[in-house]
Structure 1
Amino acid sequence: MTYGRFTAKAVILASLVALAGCSGGFGNLFGGQTETVRTADGQVIARPDRARRAPERSTIWDLFADRDDPNTTLEVNKYLWNASLDVLSFMPVEVVDPFSGVIVFGYGVPPGGGQAYRATVHVSDPALDARGLNVALQTRGGRAVSSATQHAIEDAILGRARQLRIQDYDL
């Protein structure tokens, strides 16, 4: 036997071993084991081992599979969402993305105010919590609003969200 034929046979044998490893062992590759099963009418039949339902296994390739429903991957608190729309109702809504929790408002003047503002609200948590709400405000000139004004808007949204929750559950 020449060196080339020996190498070819070794590669084929290694491939068969690798294939058997992927299938769960040599038993499944070369006929498998059987188990006896009693049917509903009392007969005993032999069923191959591979006919049993295999448990769900995960592999490295599951990282690349998109098995999640894109409509349910991110949850947004409905009370914070609706409260944001209520409190900032004086601003026109430009972009709404309920799957990522982002609402972008256009420029609007608050009642009793003279300055126009623009807001972006991000609701990032399903819990009714201040950590799940992020509000960014800016003026028409593009300058950021003071942190006191931003916190006042966040507090108004949180307060309205609590009111909506109480109203919803008749507490």
Structure 2
Amino acid sequence: MTLKAIARTTILCVAAFSLADCGRLPRFVGTEPGAAREIAEQRRVDEQGRQVTTIWEALRLQRDSGDKVAVNRYLWNASLQVLDFLPVQSVDPFTGVIVTGYGTPPGGGRAYRATIYVTDPALDARSLNVSILTRSGPVAVGTQRAVEDAILTRARQLRSADRNL
């Protein structure tokens, strides 16, 4: 045998014995049941105290009980109340999308259509996306912002009325 073959064989043997012995870590030898779990739970918090998630925990299937809605109920109800002159075509409270058909506001002659997207459970302007169209195309930015402000104002009114109960 040559010197290269001996060195290669020695390196492979050391690597094989090292990997075979990985299962016996000294911190788990001779400890009582449950200690390994406590050590693993301690390692899930980093130096800043933040929770650390392993790749396996992130990939594990989460069971959805179906009772959690991730939209703000005040924004949702205010959107339906402010745009009540538009016929509702599609509603999905779990994704926060309201799609309406064309309708004319009271005292107006132009038909509008709206799509409302409530993205967050917070009562915040960033949680509300409104898209308003006419038959000829999108409305002016000022008109869209006025409708968003009306929805936000109504949502705040609804929330304050709930707190008075």
Per the normalisation by structure 1, the TM-score is: 0.69
Correspondence for 2:34 among 26, 36, 51? 51
**Structure 2 matches for 1:154-165, cutoff 5 A?**
154-165=148-159
* Structure 2: 5+ residue stretches without partners: 45-52
Deviations 1:20-77 (CA, angstroms, capped at 9, x unpaired):
4xxxx1453xxx224xxxxxxxxxxxxx2x4334243442333323437485787322
**Structure 2 matches for 1:94-105, cutoff 5 A?**
94-105=89-100
| SS of corresponding position for 2:153 | helix
Deviations 1:2-31 (CA, angstroms, capped at 9, x unpaired):
9697576445313223334xxxx1453xxx
Corresponding position: 1:131 with 2:126: yes
| SS of corresponding position for 2:22 | helix
CA contact (8 A) 1:84 1:121 kept: yes
From the superposition, tell whether residues 11 and 121 of structure 1 become closer, same or farther in structure 2 (CA, over 3 Å). Answer: same
Corresponding position: 1:86 with 2:74: no
Name whichever structure is richer in strand by fraction.
Answer: 1
- Report the Cα distance in structure 1 between the residues aligned to 2:123 and 2:147, rounded to whole angstroms: 16
**Structure 2 matches for 1:29-44, cutoff 5 A?**
32-34=29-31
| SS of corresponding position for 2:148 | helix
State the 1:86 CA deviation: 0.8
Deviations 1:102-142 (CA, angstroms, capped at 9, x unpaired):
2222222222222221111122233322232221111123x
Q: Identical aligned pairs, as a percentage?
A: 50
Q: CA RMSD in A?
A: 3.0
| SS of corresponding position for 2:121 | coil
State the 1:101 CA deviation: 2.0
From the superposition, tell whether residues 12 and 26 of structure 1 become closer, same or farther in structure 2 (CA, over 3 Å). Answer: farther
Correspondence for 2:20 among 16, 19, 26? 16
* Structure 1: 5+ residue stretches without partners: 35-47
1:118 aligned residue? 113
2:47 aligned residue? none
| SS of corresponding position for 2:139 | coil
What count of residue pairs does the alignment treat as equivalent?
Answer: 149
Per the normalisation by structure 2, the TM-score is: 0.71
State the 1:81 CA deviation: 0.7
CA contact (8 A) 2:69 2:93 kept: no
